[in-house]
Amino acid sequence: MSTRLKTISFSSGQTFSLLQGDLTQEEVGAIVNPANEDLMHGGGVAALIARRGGNTINTESRVWIKEYGPVSHSEPAHTSGGNLPCRYVIHAVGPVWKSGDEDNKLAAAVSGSLRRAEELELTSIAFPAISTGIFGFPKDRAAKVIYQAVHDHFSQNPDSGLNDVRMVVYGQPTTDIFLAIWEEFHNDK
């Protein structure tokens, strides 16, 4: 069970929360998988999601790649949630650190995931700390980019039916960083 650390509400009614816990246990419309462009879920959070979700996620990912080709930062793929308590997994391609234009690529992955959730007519979504693991994106910088992308999305889409956005972090060091940036970011708003 995740622990809710912080929540803010937008004037349009949506909420954005920071939680510490296990992304794969979130009972939401979709969880976001920090994927690679080929949807090969071999390491990090992606491997955990694929393992806990069962073979369905890998099978559907292969079908997606056959049908649509590699996944871009701004246009994430989606599969069912398999054995997970979510309905869908949205596969967002985050940037590899030092690949160039990382902030914009990460923002595109977040906003693309929010759009995909809206297209799927979902009311809730949970994000991990995209690209901060094996892709090496600095956690403090990623937190700022992710928080800004969520704020920008709801500023531009106040009528969104997506009303519950969660940022789920794991481990105390990551939690401490995302919490500190949350305080800094939201005190400036």
3-class DSSP assignment, residue 13: coil
CA-CA-CA-CA dihedral for 57, 154, 23, 173, to nearest 10: 130
Closest CA to 14 of 109, 156, 146: 156
DSSP 71: P
At 19 the pLDDT is 98
Integer Cα distance of 80 and 53 in angstroms: 9
- pTM comes to 0.95
At 1 the pLDDT is 77
At 42 the pLDDT is 86
Mark the ranges of the chain whose per-residue pLDDT is less than 50.
none
Query: 3-184: what fold?
Result: Leucine Aminopeptidase, subunit E; domain 1 (3.40.220)
